[in-house]
Amino acid sequence: MANTVFGVLIERIEEQKSSAVEFLIGGGSKDFAEYRNVCGLVRGLETARSLVEDLSRNYMEDEDD
């Protein structure tokens, strides 16, 4: 994605998500509660990424009109 504010946001969200996934893959969770918390974080970041992509698409369509 181009270096727009949307692209920067998506990139940062992906960095955070990758970090959380690596934490899980590496067995970083001390207990099930922490595992659930990090899984929730990953789910939330995926939701945020989807919302930013939708917003970006709508913004770009409005720019074309």
Work out the pLDDT band at 60, boundaries 50, 70, 90. Answer: confident
Instruction: Please state the pTM of the whole predicted model.
Output: 0.85
32-58: per-residue pLDDT in tens?
Answer: 999 999 999 999 999 999 999 999 999
Q: 5-25 and 32-64 are packed helices; what angle lies between their axes, rounded to 10 degrees?
A: 160
pLDDT over threshold 80, residue 65: no
Report, as an integer, the average pLDDT of 20-39.
97
Identify the pLDDT of residue 2: 57
Taken in order 27, 30, 35, 38, the sign of the CA dihedral is negative
How does the average pLDDT of the chain come out, rounded?
A: 93
